[in-house]
Every structure is written in C-alpha cells, then in structure tokens.
Amino acid sequence: MTTRSLAVQSLFAVLALGWLARAEAQGSWDDLFFRHVAGDVTVARVTPDGTRVVFLADLDVDEHFELFSAPTDGSAAPVQLHGPLTRHGDVSDRFTIAPDGLHVAFLADGYTNTVDELYCAPIDGSAPAVRVSTQAAVEFVTVFRFTPDSTRLVFQGRTSDQRDELWCVPLDGSSALEVSASMPPGGNPFDNFSISPDSTLLVYVADAVTEGVPEIFSAPLDASAPAVKLSTTPIAKGAMREYALTPDGKRVVYRADQDTAGVFELYSVPIDGSAAAVRISRAPTAIGDVEDGFGFTPAGAVLYRADHDTDNARDLYLVPADGSATAVRLNAAHAVDEWCEDFVATASGYVVYRADADANNVIELYSAPLDGSRTTVKLSGTMVSGGDVQSRYVISPDGTRVVYRADQDTNNAFEVYSAPLDGSSAALKLNPALPPGRSVAVYTPIDPSGRLVLFTADVAGDDQPDLLAAPIDGSGSAVTLTDQGLSFHPDQVNSFGFASGGSVVYRGVLDPEDVDFVEQLFVVPLDASAAPVVLHPTPALGELDGDILDFRLTHDGLGVVYLARERERRGLYVAPLSSPMTMVRLTGADVLQVGFAIGADDERVAFCAHNTVSNELFSVPLDGSAAAVKLSGTLITAGDVQLDFAVTADGARVVFRADAVEDNRFDLYSAPADGAMPPTQLSGTLVANGDVTGFRISPDGAYVVYLADQDVATRPELYSVPVDGSAAPVKLNGVLPLSCKVLDDYRIHPDGSRVLYRADEDLLAHFELHTVPIDGSAAATELNGALASGGSVSDFQLDASGNWVVYRAEQDVNFAFELYSGPSDGSVAALQLNPALVNQGNVGNYALTADAALVVFTADAAINDVNEVWSVPADGSAAAIRVHAPLSGQIDLSLWELTPDAAYVVMAGTAGPGTPVEIYSAPTDASASPVRLHGPVVQGQDVSELVVSHDSSRVLYRGDHDQNDVVELFSAPIDGSTTAEKISGVLVQGGSVLAPLRISADSSSVLFSADRAGLRASGR
C-alpha cells in the first residue's frame, strides 16, 4: 500500500474533516489534530442520519478495493460489508445507501471476474451480503437505486440477448419483477430512471416505441399495470434530452425538440399520464430554444435558460411547473450570443448568476429579484479585456456580500474581490498587488465572524504560496500570515481551518525541498501578530511526520491518544490536550490498524497491529510505563482479529472476534486487558459456515450478548455468556422456525439483567418483541400484544432506566403501524398510545422521555400522508394531544426532536408542496402556538438533523439556510426569543457540516465534522 503522505487519500478528506476544541466563547473553536483513515479511500458516503459512513478502500491489499462501513462518531472500527470476491475481483465505486440508512447496495464481481452483479448488505455488517441480481436472464447490472421507502431495489440489467431491462426486487433478492415495457428489436431503457417519492411509480427513458428515439415512460413498481408513455411522440429526428420530477413528485418536467427538430422546449406532464404533456416554456424565436440545466425554486416553480426574446441570447426565465402562467424573464435583456449561467435562487427572493450581459464573452456577476420588481444589478466591477468572473463565488455568513475571483484588472491574473449583494456600492479588491503571472488560488473562505477573507497567493513571487487575511469590506489591507518558504495546499479542502481566539490552523510542509513532503500542523493568529507555530515537535527519522491517521479522547477529557504515520512505520502516541507537544510514544509497528479502544479507567489502550499475514490484538499502558502485550494469543496463518473489539466498562477485559482456529470462521473471545492470561473462547461450537456476526457487552461488564448462526447456518440467533468465559453460552431466543432469525437491534437493560430483541419466532418475516433474562434463567417473554394477521413489531425504544418500553407494530390492523407502551418486563399488557388513524395512516418517528413520563410521536391521524406531531403520557393515562394546529395538504413534520425536560418539541416541516423546510418549537402540552426559530431561508433549503442541548435551552440543526446545498450548523434558543445564528464558521467552497452533532455534557459546546481539516467543537 502506498505510504507517501500525498498519495494517501484521507477518508475524512473525501467526506469531510471536522474539528475538536474546547469552546472558550460563543462561536470559538480550536483545530488540534488531523484524522485520516489508512489506505487509499476513493469514495465515501454518509447515511441520511449521519451515523455511519460507507467507503471504498484498499486497506488490506494495494489496489484491491473493498467496501467498509463505520460509525461516524468513531465508536467502533470499520466492518467489511461483502463476502469473498473472485480472484482479482473488486467492489465497484458505484455503491449507494438506502434512504433509511439501514442497507447498502453495491456492484461486485463476486462470482465471475469483471462481471458486475448487484448485492445488498446491512450497513452495520450484521448479516452477509445478498446477491439480488440472480435472475437467469440478467448477465450483469449497469444501474441501480433504492426505492424511497428503502424496501426494494430497482436496477437495469443486461440480458443474455444483449437487451437492457428494468427490474424491481426486495432487498433479500426474492420475487424480482420486470417493470419496464417490452422493447422493440434494438430498443433499450436508458440509464436515467427515477422513482416517485411514494415508491409506487418508476419513471424511465427508453426507445420502447421507435429504436433510437428516447421517450419518457412511467410504470407501477409492482408491475400491476403496463407502462404508460408520458412524453409526446416527437417529430422525425426529434428527441427528449433531460427530465426531472417536481419536488412533490406529481409532475415530470422535460426538455425536448418534440415539435420542431433542433428546437428544444420545456414540457410538463402528470407522472401518472392522466393528462397530456403541455409546453411550459415560452414560444421560442425562429431558431431559438431552451438550454440544458433547468431547476426548481423553493416554491416549486421552474427556472430555466432560453433565448425566447432574442435568438442566441440565453436569458433566465421562471414559470409554474404546470404551465398555468407564462414564463417571465428575470434578467435584463441580452444581446445576441450573450447568456446566463450558474444561477442560484435565494429564499429572500433573488437569483444570483453569472452572465455576459454587458459585453459578449465577458462573464460578470449579477443579481435580480425573482418577482421582477427591480432591474438586474451587476455585482462585479468593470472587466479588463479578456477578464471574467470565475464560477466559485462565496456568500458572506450574514448574506450581505459576495466574494468572488476574477481576472478583473489583468487578464489571466485572478484576484479576489468583495461586493454587496444589493449592488449598493462597487466591488473592492481584497488582495495586495501580485507579481506578474501570479493569481489568488480558488479556495477563498470567510472567517466565522464574517469580517475576514482568507486566500492564498504567491505574493513574494518565490513560487511558494502565502496565506493572507483581508477585511471583507476592504476597510484594511491584507496581512500575510505564513512565513515565506512554507509550502502548503492552497486549493485543498483540508488545507486550513479557523481556531478559537482569532487564529487559523493549517497543514503545511516546513521544508518544501523535503522529498518526502512531510506534512505538519501549524497555527497562526489571523491578525499576523505572531509567527506560525508547529503544533507538534519537529519530526525526526522514525518519529511522527505529521500525518495523524486516527485519534480518541481519553475518558477524562484531558488527553488524546492518536495514531500517526512515521517515516518508516506507524506509532501510537498519547498527549495531554493542555500541552500536545509533550507527547509520549506508546508503541510502534509497520502497520498499526486504524481503530483502537481506550479503557474507561484510562489505564490501557487496545489496538490491532498487522503482521505480514494477519491482524493481532495488543494493549499498552496509557502512561507508556511498559511495552505492549499481545491479547489475541496464537492465530492460524492468515487469521485475523476483527476491528470491532471492545473494552469492558471497568477496563479489565477486551472482547473481540477472530478466525483464530479456522480461516474465515469468526469466534468470540475475551482476554484480560493486561495480557496476564491467554484469551478465552466465549462463543460455542459453530456449525459449518457459522460465524459470530456481532456482540454487545452488558453495562456492568458481566456478560457478552452476541448474535451468531451457531446452531444452524444462516440463522442468526442470540446468545449470552459471562465475559470471562466462566460458563458456557446460553441461547436467549426461543425455537425459530425454518429461515427465521433474530434481528441485530437487540438491547441490553441498563442494569444488565435483561435483553430485549425482535425475532420472527412464530411466523417467517413477522417479527415480535421479546424480553429475556440475560443469563437465560427463564424463557423469553413476548412484550407485544397479539398482532394482526401478518403483522410485525417494526422497532422499539427503552427509557433511561430500562423499565419502560415503547414500540411500533401492526398489532391491531395489518399495514397500520401504531404505537404501544408497557413495562419492559411484560408484567402489564402494553397499551395503545396513538389516536385513531385515518385509513392507511401510520405512526412515524417517536421519542420517550428519560423518565418514561411522556411519548412524542408523528402520525398521519387525520389526513393520509400529512404527518402531525402528538404527545401522550407513556402510561396512557390521558389521550394524545396534537402540539400544533391541525395541518392540511402534503405537509411533512417527520423530522423533530424532543427536549430533555419534555417541555418542548422542535419540528422541521414545510408550509406546502415545493416550499422550504422550516423549524418551529412548540410546548408539548399545546399551551402555546409553534414559534419559528430562524429567519428567511434560500431555494431548496433543507434541514437534515436536529439536536437539543442537554439543558433544554437551545436547538442545534444542520441545514442549507444560507446557501443551497451548503449544509451549515445553526443554533437557536428553544423558545424562539431570538432567531438562529450560524456557529459552524465559513466552510470551503462546496463544503458542508456532517452528522452526527455531539453536544458537551454541560451544553456549552458542540462537536461536529465538516469540510475543513480536523474534528471541531464550537461554542453553541
């Protein structure tokens, strides 16, 4: 595997690095260490809830790419998601995560080399991947997607007669249905199919009528009816070029030259084909048409570019998606051969775009109101001959200014400028004079206060970039922050980030002549009042070279343990946060694996090291007072310890899985953390092809509960065993019928006495909720009431004490998920909590307060698919109440959070189809109306995560409120007494804040990751 720093792609450089800090004032932070994953990580994607990341990497064999999954909070090591591959086989980089975040679909040549087949696996690796493209006619798969409800996969497969067909298949690979229309000879569906938001219809493009003529079709995913053609048959040589579903999924908008060959227009049609397509773009000029790349406003209208008014002048237009009104032009009139591009609509009612409106082929920056109430305003300054505004411009945190790069004064010399968005004053140049041939680099972030712009440029003309800061309003000159000769990466996302106290932390190379290009970590004040300082000792041969591969905070919060790349090896280090330069090297090896565990007593750290053929488990004292000791004992050749090992709460033992006896058969073991005794096998004798797939340690450290197909291959069952192996394991679940199983969402009671689990013990695929003593001293008890025919318990939650359980189930009506609660020991029958539901209504998300007094949940009780938020006593002593006024229309309140004190519920929802997501808080007793927690939002904005502080005073959320598709972190008081403010600082161009958010116990700081470099904590 490649070892040079620049050749290793960091996982969190791909999906985002974040920052860790002690918040000293509101909005402050410190960048301390970088966190990278070993190996070349080529693609990484995060689950919708942000709790796990799936990534492709050659961690074990160079250029042999495999698929892994890991929690984003670093609480466990990565797990491999697929089984054995063919020789030279790989997992394709075209994998996708289900919308509910529970499964991953991917292509791999698992049976025949270079032949891609489709697989689906649980995202936590709790069960083996299943090949779902098993249809005899399908030779290989080209394109695939999950349905929005995460229950099925739709894929395009190449058949043996070289035809492409579209199939829909459940995630277990059973009962695949061919859903695309029959094709004429030579006809095939194209790759760009879509699925309706309600998971009922497939929209796809195919030349199903005339070979070579692509048209749009929709078909039910259950194959209950034939496909319907949506687009109008084009004239000879006409064709459909692009399409998109409206945000509410009710219509399909497409661009085609269906009426006049070569003249592209915009059309709209109901997704079910209930009416004919209508043209929504204005009538074109004699030879003009609609350009590619149309989009939607927050209200669901369509934005597009066309030369309607002047031939070959690409103007920007707005039109209702159903064509009920004539399209209006938003920009000022253009001359021939002039055009708009890179447009963004804001929630404040403006569109910002680049265009050559004033001079042909001179690209400048403009803004215009969406309602046409004002004329277009040019934001950029006068361009020199050949000058242009570049595409990556940045809006200030308060939304008042734009920072852009342009060769405005000297052709091909790109400099950085700032201008007010309303055009009230001229643009200002922020950088100092540059030597001939030098430019400002692409990356121009704005500091969290919104006062300073950071940029890099070779100001000295010595071919080494300098880091500078300048006031965004031009009120002062730019200052140089870095020493000359210090080399770093001016355009990389993880090059630098803002720290507390008005400083910036960045990666650099102290000696640009160093052939190893050793990267180090520096900090410098933004006002240049001091020189840059290295945050760790100067590397020497065999010591830390600055590449931090992984880190964990000690449990007392005073120190950090980190894995670092050395010049020839890897080393494990510990350092106090108060003095990171006084680090202690604990151990070293050629390959120390990413993913180690610190005992809760902060006495020892367990880690894996890879010898020439296998992973072995070790531990070392955290104070460096003794050498590392091996915990895994003797392994067979090629045997491996899996990276999901865990330490008991008292730090005394380490539990791990390994194929110590038979290759690829993973048993469960426990060993003293100090290595005083050899490991003890905890799992029982496994059947052929059996494995322990996962485990949990009880909170008191006495037992390990594990899932394994121990007695019957491919039948996961639940077992319990003392952590020291002093007794044989006992099976906790009851007798399972053929093909039935225990699911991996089992939970251990906080006092360690019982285990709750779901299993289909009575009827295949119909899961019920059970509780059982952890020692197996009594048979499992069923907690749910009698279920409707074919019904299942879908999920459950325990309160903090573990004595009360709330669950959703099809208990009274099949296909109607309702909410029930009762004691977790089953001593009293569970009660239904929700009100009567409308036909096809369901209870959605729910939360149980820590004291089990209150349950808050969503349900479409009054109108199907209109989710409303309700609260109810957990014991059912009073009827559920709606916490807001009744809703109407297709409004979604499925994202919400309950405050720890149970006084408020925070809700994210829309005011109607196609409108932005907004956040409100309301008392759980409905004593007051909901209050909006933020100001206006921009086009297409969304909210992807809500977190309430432990003291119930504030809500933090991730959303793109300031700039579409740029997810940032905001904080607001729970009572709405002031509007939300952004606390994530300025991100790189295109960067976002990622989940999960973690708030400190004293509610003073929040830990988050983002497209910067490091792991950050910010004052809230």
The pLDDT, as a whole number, for residue 192 is 78
pLDDT digits (tens, 9 = 90+) for 21-35: 222 223 333 333 332
Cis peptide bond N-terminal to 996, omega within 30: yes
Stronger pLDDT, 811 or 573, i.e. the higher one: 811
Q: Which of the four pLDDT bands, split at 50, 70 and 90, describes residue 566? A: low
* Low-confidence winner among 644-658, 696-710, 794-808, 962-976 (lowest mean pLDDT): 962-976
- In this structure, the number of other CB atoms found within 10 A of the CB of residue 679 comes to 26
In sequence order, the 6+-apart residues with CB closer than 8 A to the CB of 111 are 86, 117, 131
Q: How far apart are CA 915 and CA 832, in angstroms?
A: 34
* Low-confidence winner among 309-318, 811-820, 834-843, 945-954 (lowest mean pLDDT): 309-318
Single out the residue of 415, 334, 328 nearest to residue 378, CA to CA: 334
Is residue 509's pLDDT more than 60? no
- In 207-311, beta strands by DSSP E: 215-220, 228-229, 240-245, 251-260, 263-270, 278-279, 295-296, 302-306
Is residue 726's pLDDT more than 90? yes
Tokens 């206006």 correspond to 936
Pairing assessment for the beta strands 692-697 and 703-708 based on DSSP bridges: antiparallel
SS3 content of the chain, % helix, strand, coil (to 5): 0, 40, 60
The pLDDT, as a whole number, for residue 715 is 95
Stronger pLDDT, 315 or 509, i.e. the higher one: 315
Q: Which of the four pLDDT bands, split at 50, 70 and 90, describes residue 801? A: confident
| H or E segment to which residue 14 belongs | helix 11-14
The pLDDT, as a whole number, for residue 165 is 83
Is residue 286's pLDDT more than 90? no
Q: Which of the four pLDDT bands, split at 50, 70 and 90, describes residue 880? A: very high
The pLDDT, as a whole number, for residue 761 is 93
609-626 exposure pattern, b = at least 16 Cβ within 10 A, e = fewer: bbeeebbbbbbbbbeeee
Domain 537-674 fold is Neuraminidase (2.120.10)
Q: Per DSSP, what are the bridge partners of residue 440? A: 457
What's the mean per-residue pLDDT of the chain? 80
The pLDDT, as a whole number, for residue 581 is 57
Q: Which two tokens stand for residue 10?
A: 């960091």
Stronger pLDDT, 954 or 58, i.e. the higher one: 954
Stronger pLDDT, 130 or 333, i.e. the higher one: 130
Segment 768-780 mean pLDDT: 96
Is residue 511's pLDDT more than 60? no
Question: For 496-525, what is the HEC assignment?
Answer: EEEECCCEEEEEEECCCCCCCCCCEEEEEE
* Low-confidence winner among 82-86, 254-258, 706-710, 858-862 (lowest mean pLDDT): 82-86
Tokens 């277009």 correspond to 376
Is residue 946's pLDDT more than 90? no
Tokens 């120190």 correspond to 559
Q: How far apart are CA 230 and CA 204, in angstroms?
A: 10
Long-range pairs of 475-480 with CB within 8 A, sequence gap ≥ 24: 477/432, 478/430, 478/431, 478/432, 479/527, 479/528, 480/528
DSSP state for residue 367 in the 8-state scheme: E
pLDDT digits (tens, 9 = 90+) for 655-677: 999 999 999 999 999 999 999 99
C-alpha to C-alpha distances, 875 to 859, 878, 902, nearest whole angstrom? 19, 8, 15
Domain ranges across the chain: 537-674, 682-761
Q: Which of the four pLDDT bands, split at 50, 70 and 90, describes residue 213? A: confident
